[in-house]
Amino acid sequence: MADLFEVTAVEKHIRMSPRKVRLVANLVRGKSVDQAIGILKMTPKGAAPEVEKAINSAASNATQNYGLVREDLIVTTIYADEGPRLKRMKAGARGRYKPIMKRSAHITVGVAERKNKTEEK
């Protein structure tokens, strides 16, 4: 896949654990953009709207900046990295404290044109 021209989009500082975002990202990897959006609309996870937003952004970048056709785009790469953590604390027994990590994620989506689009039509 090194010869594919890939257009990317990044959504940063999503207030959700990257582990939960990866569950949703794995559902749409390798699918066409319209099929991925359809899957995400029916997915009952909290990360689905954020992943959908990132895929729409990457598809818009491809159509507006490079003149690619949205129907020919597939989600080639999608991953969730860890963002900064908000460190909070909660009072515990005997004067101790319990740390609370409020995690965040960065979602990166790459879309590319289908290789053999003439054979499918």
Q: What pLDDT, on the 0 to 100 scale, is given for residue 116? A: 74
Torsions phi, psi for 5 (to 5 deg): -90, 115
Number of Cβ atoms within 10 Å of the Cβ of 118: 7
Quick one: angle between helices 18-28 and 33-41, nearest 10? Answer: 130
Q: What pLDDT, on the 0 to 100 scale, is given for residue 3? A: 58
The residues spanned by each domain of the chain are 6-115
Q: Answer for the pair 7, 110: CB distance below 8 angstroms, yes or no.
A: yes
List of the chain residues with pLDDT < 50: 1, 119, 121
Q: Answer for the pair 43, 24: CB distance below 8 angstroms, yes or no.
A: yes
CATH 3.10.450.240 holds for 6-115: no
pTM of the model: 0.88
**Cα 121 from chain centre:** 29
How is the beta sheet containing 73-82 ordered, strand by strand? 6-14, 105-113, 73-82
Query: How do strand 73-82 and strand 105-113 relate by DSSP bridges?
Result: antiparallel
